[in-house]
Structure 1
Amino acid sequence: MNLGSRAMGAVAALFCATWTVPAAVAQQADSSGPRPALEDLFTVVSLGSLELSPDGERLLYTVRSADLEKNQTDTEIWLLTLPQRGAPRNVRLTRNPKNDTQPRWHPSGDRFAFLSVRESGSNREERPALYLMSPTGGEPEKLYEHPTGIRSFDWSPDGKWIGFTANDDETEEQKKRREQGRDVRLEDDPGRYTHLWLLDVEARKARRITSGTEFNVQSFAWSPDGKVIAFSATPTPRITDSWKSDLFLIDPFDSTATPRRLTDNPGPDASPVFSPDGEFIYYQGYQSDRYRVGYDRVFRIPKAGGKPEDVSPNMDVDPSPYVFTPDGKAVFFEATTGTTRGIFYMPLDTRRPVRLTGDRGVWSQASFSRDRRRVAFVHESPVKPQEIHAAVLDQRPGEGVLKNVGPLTRHNAHAEKWAVGLTDVIRWKSADGKEIEGILVYPAGWTPARGPAPLVVKIHGGPAGVYLQNFQASSTGSDAQRYAADGYAVFLPNPRGSTGYGDATVRAVIDDWGGMDFKDIMIGVDTLIARRVVHPDSLGVMGWSYGGYMTAWTISQTNRFKAAVVGAGITETISMWGTHDILHVFEGYFSGSPWDEGRWEEYQASSPLAHIRGARTPTLIIHGVNDQRVPPNQAQILYRTLKALGVPTELVWLPRTGHGPNEPGLQYETARRQKEWMDRWIRKKGAKPTAN
């Protein structure tokens, strides 16, 4: 059983800032180790999809790697044996040039199923199909291939059936129109619906469980006795309806059955999980008639129907779906708190969580044996890349029991030497006295005697993203150690709006984009300057998505920065409202559309373009040509505006790219250009004339 996850003005002159570095948080680094180059980041693999066997003695997991030369990524399935006696051993099970994902043990533990995209030998599009494999090895066996591909699946408790979700196929009329080149699309057309299917494993035949256009299936769960399936569904597949889900029940074996609606909440009811006795369904959501910025709550509702009951932790966190103990009296979940993510145990009678992991690093993707006495998880920290850990749990595990568990794999052992810069969690008081937190990566070998260093401020997306204590040499998005190796300090602030600091903090930026969040960041920068860690004349700022917005906002408010990189950034809020795909989220942050009473002025007040006339910071803009989340016009209007104002600027278009680059080659180019822009304008390295 796996835990689902569901990442400047002179302000300091006006407000006194304090800076605290807790001694227990400082992450020591070996400054004598090799310095990570950009190419090195592509040798770090990502571990995921942990699936502990029912007896807890074997673990399936995926390893995702990148080949920079071939411009490809590959995900393969590995097996880690966890014997009661003897040393653990891991072995690679699949060797497919395409991706093998979502491994799921058969309830007996003698085999597993997974999704795989494999060469078809034909011209038709390759789609994820179900495969079976023995943990002892051998060739995978194709179990079932659906015409539109399989999105997700799960075994029935008796192992005779597999429930899965798949998109509806084109109708004959739609196929004909596409072949004739007449396949026009209407705005707000819902597209293809997703529905539930049931596969007879022995017969290898599948039939529909749900159909039609009344709802669009999201996630589902089998009841413990295998007689019914609970699922969440939205009214349509439109992304703007994604927050309007409800819960349904259906008998998968009755071909005449129709789904029975359990909830009728205008807001989301999602991620259903049955209690061990099958009498209750637990789920995530909130009670609201409009999209709500903030944390979800956890509810339970009787399987027979009734009134939902709030059973959220007595702690201000946004928990992952619950994993129950066998007796149903307690649960496990994951949650982000500050700059860490941890695993918690919680008795349901008190709902007071006990943190099983420490307060340094990131613990995630926990998976449990059937009796919940064994757990496996991924851990990383600023000085340790991702590896898999496992431990035996007491029936009522105590606080911190997992914090000193050692790694069982060495997938990224070669990268440990790259953490050359000391990492600290820092805290400071913002303009209104609120304590704000962030992460600082020092230059390699830095001491106060070396004096202030150049600084790059990296602002996270969201706004409800967060910087965690992860390994900052693991990808082009987590590459602070690459800058530290070249003498930069890197500041990763978590201003208000970030997750991990309570529901009120996430909601604090509603109707205030570019307000207190900007002051939070700037006072953090000024604190570092006051402590003589960084030089006030050698500052750079960058970010992606909302971080790109905050970077564009920053250059519209101050010229203190020598260089800026705006990645997929929002630059003009009203045109953003009118062109992007998640309209409901934007209106949640701005309390309505620009056409609602008083909202036009609010949108304008938070628009970088409305304040850009005084900008002077050399700015690199990077954007995907197919970005629907932040449409490309946001990049183009900033580029043309800066050129008109005589500001040095370049606009880099990423082909075949949506809201962020997925291809290794484009990730490389993005990261290379980001740092070269900082070097050019902060250090005058490799400078060349910029046409204006």
Structure 2
Amino acid sequence: MLKPARLLLPLLTALLAPIAAADTHTATTDPRIESLLTQLDKVRDISGVALSPDGRQLAWVVDTNDKPGIMLADANGQHAHSIGLATSPGTCSEDGLAWAPDSRHLAFLSNCDSTHASMGGKQPDIYVLDTQSHDKPVRISNLSGYVHALSWAPDGKSLAFLYVEGATRRASALAAAKPLVGEVGVEGIEVQRVATLPAKGGALQLVTPADSYVYEFSWAPDSQRLAYVAAPPPGDNNWWIAQLYVQTAQAGASRTAVVDPRTVTGPLHGLQIAVPRWSPDGSRIAFIGGLMSDQGATGGDLYSVASSGGAPVDLTPGIHVTPAWFSWSTPQSMLVSQVSSGKMQVAEYAVEANHAQQQRVLFTAPGSIGDGTAEAALSLSADHHQIAFAQSSFDVAPEVYAGSVDAQMPAAVTSINAGLKPSWGKAQSVEWTNEGFHVQGWLLYPANYDPHKRYPMIVYIHGGPSSAVVPHWPSGGYGAAPFSSLGYFVFMTNPRGSFGEGETFVQANRKDFGYGDLRDTLTGIDAVEKLAPVDDHRLGLTGWSYGGFMSMFVPTQTQRFRAVVAGAGIANWQSYYGQNLIDQWMIPFFGASVYDDPGVYAKSSAINFIKKVKTPTLIVVGERDAECPAPQSFEYWHALRALGVPTSLVVYPNEGHHFYNPAHQRDVLQRALNWFEKYLPPQ
């Protein structure tokens, strides 16, 4: 299976040396590009928010010099001050907030006093701060590996967390894959398990089995049991077939398989599960179930199952929104974060044994929200009366928001990025109907928009496909908003397959990649051209991951686009099946393996229609991308070059599906801006 990748190694080796040298030296033809990139570098990311259970204290994690540090304040943001072990902000990393039930002790991760290395950096350990004393934080662990997801037991006596002992990389399919050497699939397998520590320090316990890779977990109200989502290793590949388990929080304890989506009957069959949460009385476990293409990009219906096992019940069949996160408020109610037509809502649901009904939308946020622990997660006081989260939009850079749950929209309590103003144009939600589906997208106007001029437009297609474009301030990755700064309309679509219109809409592109979702997007372009002065002869196309696939496939189906930038794309689903390290994700979407139904893979493979492509295409990818391997980009680039289509391929050394090196993040965007300016110049 890995022979195609190995055959490319000599070519990769030859290419990577000049690419590494050119990472930060790409020629910039427009001084506005350098100014824009400098502005984007100024945003300070807020990666974690935690409200104390009594609702009186608020902590958050904010970057300084690309290093996360912790601030502690009153719940209204007043009296904010740095905590932890850093001698000054930006000198080391501290994050991973978790409040104890007593609202006095705050656990976090710090590598500021580390004396040994892990994964190429300093090893973080777990510290606990008594916020009502003047004592320094106390280290309670001595770890060697990857640690995250700290969570206190409800009785406050111990901490649980996800831990990869001896890890060599982040536990994520987005991270750069390990070099494929030795006996592939056997040697060097790393397993993420739930570990526990006494709150005052002591012996670490690896609670879950060594042959089970855990993705997320939840404490039972009695502090004796855990619910967790897990699958056999390798973890990067098997999240799509993970099961829900319940186990006593002790090493060696037996466990109960509560839900196996592969064997259940009903709407959950063959789908994915995430966000397990015990009901307050411990009798049930609720979770989100749906067709999900990526761990962490959660969306689906709300389900419930007895904590002892049984048939899971879809509590929200037929809804036209997509729940992404929830928390039980009482045994009869939940607070739910959900995507609704490209917007984030926080809603209250009434819960019965077999049904959950939305009672009211508490507020619709103007942008993306989250507390850093999970997709769209909220930090809540124990009584669910107070709420806190980080938020950003196209108009406002990230800040911490906090206040009453009953408020229309909590107010910002920080001014971390208050001086930043968008250099791009205004945003507008666009909605249209196609083939019986309600579809939505976001349109960014060009900076300094003149209604008397006609403008080129770049169409941006999101990854997934099970995901959605929700307004957010651009930072740290490839995105759409910067193109608006240079005089383009930018249209970000949420076609079928996206979250925000209900599970039927999400599942509408099964076995149909690149067809129905393209028709939705083309119809959306027609709708935009009726309301804005877009020049249909100057359309560009771009995207990353699934959006990268679409950027490769769409030019085989239509000549409407005049320039393309394809990020981490897929040219050939048949060869891809044997190259990627996450093939389990494909069967829920294609209905069978490539060996059982090669035709369904062939019909969506750009390489099978490659002679129809005439569009100049820039292709970018990470050298060690496990999700969309570099050979896919080579295959597409090789074909375009052979056909005489203007093309360029850039492979970034040591990067995975998500680029972590800031210089590489900057270089990708700079190259894309230059590419569109060359082939799709604003006038």
Task: Place the TM-score, normalised by the shorter chain, in its bin.
Answer: 0.7 to 0.9
Write the distance in 2 (CA, Å) between the matches of 1:251 and 1:42. 46
Distance 1:63 1:305, change over 3 A: same
Write the distance in 1 (CA, Å) between the matches of 2:305 and 2:424. 51
Aligned to 2:404: 392
What is the Cα deviation at residue 245 of structure 1? 2.8
Aligned to 1:61: 60
Alpha carbons 1:128, 1:151 under 8 Å: kept: no
Matched, 1:331 2:315: no
Identity %: 27
Alpha carbons 1:190, 1:237 under 8 Å: kept: no
1:176-187 maps to which residues of 2 (within 5 A)?
A: 184-187=182-185
Which residue of 349, 352, 363 corresponds with 1:357? 363
Matched, 1:535 2:535: yes
Distance 1:409 1:296, change over 3 A: same
Write the distance in 2 (CA, Å) between the matches of 1:43 and 1:258. 50
Aligned to 1:202: 200
Alpha carbons 2:300, 2:502 under 8 Å: kept: no
Write the distance in 1 (CA, Å) between the matches of 2:180 and 2:492. 49
1:625-644 maps to which residues of 2 (within 5 A)?
A: 625-644=623-642
Equivalent AA in structure 2 for residue 56 of structure 1: G
Matched, 1:682 2:683: no
What is the Cα deviation at residue 190 of structure 1? 8.4
Matched, 1:601 2:599: yes
Equivalent AA in structure 2 for residue 445 of structure 1: N
Aligned to 2:72: 79
Aligned to 2:566: 566
Alpha carbons 1:374, 1:392 under 8 Å: kept: yes
Aligned to 1:491: 491
Which residue of 455, 470, 481 corresponds with 1:453? 455
Which residue of 195, 199, 216 corresponds with 1:219? 216
Write the distance in 1 (CA, Å) between the matches of 2:412 and 2:180. 56
The Cα offsets for residues 190-223 of structure 1, whole Å up to 9 and x where unpaired, read as 823333333223352223333342x333322222
What is the Cα deviation at residue 425 of structure 1? 0.8
Equivalent AA in structure 2 for residue 74 of structure 1: K
Write the distance in 2 (CA, Å) between the matches of 1:269 and 1:544. 24
Write the distance in 2 (CA, Å) between the matches of 1:182 and 1:285. 33
The Cα offsets for residues 627-646 of structure 1, whole Å up to 9 and x where unpaired, read as 11111111111111111111
What is the Cα deviation at residue 141 of structure 1? 2.8
Aligned to 2:12: none
Helix, strand or coil at the partner of 2:521? helix
Aligned to 1:127: 123
Equivalent pairs counted in the alignment come to 614
Helix, strand or coil at the partner of 1:278? coil
Matched, 1:477 2:473: no
Distance 1:342 1:370, change over 3 A: same
Q: TM-score, structure 2 length as denominator?
A: 0.82
What is the Cα deviation at residue 439 of structure 1? 1.0
Alpha carbons 2:285, 2:307 under 8 Å: kept: yes
Matched, 1:99 2:93: yes
What is the Cα deviation at residue 659 of structure 1? 1.0
Matched, 1:378 2:390: yes
Write the distance in 2 (CA, Å) between the matches of 1:455 and 1:464. 24
The Cα offsets for residues 54-83 of structure 1, whole Å up to 9 and x where unpaired, read as 210111121135x4xxxxx32111223126
Aligned to 1:412: 417
The Cα offsets for residues 430-478 of structure 1, whole Å up to 9 and x where unpaired, read as 3x353422111111232422x211211111111122111223x445434
1:2-401 maps to which residues of 2 (within 5 A)?
A: 37-64=36-63, 67=65, 73-82=66-75, 88-94=78-84, 95=86, 97-118=91-112, 120-122=114-116, 126-135=122-131, 139-168=136-165, 184-187=182-185, 191-213=189-211, 215-252=212-249, 257-266=253-262, 268=272, 270-285=274-289, 296-312=300-316, 315-325=319-329, 327-349=330-352, 351-353=356-358, 354-358=360-364, 360-365=366-371, 366-393=378-405, 397=406, 401=407
Equivalent AA in structure 2 for residue 285 of structure 1: G
Equivalent AA in structure 2 for residue 108 of structure 1: D
Distance 1:270 1:435, change over 3 A: closer
Helix, strand or coil at the partner of 1:150? strand
Write the distance in 2 (CA, Å) between the matches of 1:35 and 1:653. 22
What is the Cα deviation at residue 547 of structure 1? 0.8
Aligned to 2:173: none
Write the distance in 2 (CA, Å) between the matches of 1:621 and 1:207. 46
Q: TM-score, structure 1 length as denominator?
A: 0.81
Distance 1:348 1:634, change over 3 A: same
1:581-620 maps to which residues of 2 (within 5 A)?
A: 581-596=581-596, 599-620=597-618
Equivalent AA in structure 2 for residue 82 of structure 1: A
Matched, 1:512 2:512: yes
What is the Cα deviation at residue 36 of structure 1? 6.3
Helix, strand or coil at the partner of 1:352? strand
What is the Cα deviation at residue 121 of structure 1? 3.5
Equivalent AA in structure 1 for residue 356 of structure 2: R
What is the Cα deviation at residue 564 of structure 1? 1.1
Distance 1:575 1:107, change over 3 A: same
Aligned to 1:402: 408
Helix, strand or coil at the partner of 1:319? strand
Structure whose CA Rg is larger = 1
Write the distance in 2 (CA, Å) between the matches of 1:185 and 1:101. 36
Distance 1:168 1:381, change over 3 A: closer
Aligned to 2:19: none
Write the distance in 2 (CA, Å) between the matches of 1:230 and 1:557. 46
Helix, strand or coil at the partner of 2:412? coil
What is the Cα deviation at residue 313 of structure 1? 7.3
Distance 1:669 1:160, change over 3 A: same
Write the distance in 2 (CA, Å) between the matches of 1:203 and 1:527. 61
Write the distance in 1 (CA, Å) between the matches of 2:652 and 2:197. 41
Gaps spanning 5+ residues in structure 2: where? 1-32, 168-178, 263-269, 372-377
What is the Cα deviation at residue 498 of structure 1? 1.4
Alpha carbons 1:540, 1:564 under 8 Å: kept: yes
Equivalent AA in structure 1 for residue 411 of structure 2: G
Equivalent AA in structure 1 for residue 637 of structure 2: Y
Write the distance in 1 (CA, Å) between the matches of 2:252 and 2:457. 65
Alpha carbons 1:217, 1:233 under 8 Å: kept: yes
Distance 1:362 1:240, change over 3 A: closer
Distance 1:114 1:314, change over 3 A: farther
Equivalent AA in structure 2 for residue 378 of structure 1: A
The Cα offsets for residues 364-411 of structure 1, whole Å up to 9 and x where unpaired, read as 332111111111122333212222222224xxx5xxx423x3211111
Aligned to 1:552: 552
Write the distance in 2 (CA, Å) between the matches of 1:42 and 1:459. 24
Distance 1:672 1:419, change over 3 A: closer
Write the distance in 2 (CA, Å) between the matches of 1:589 and 1:543. 20
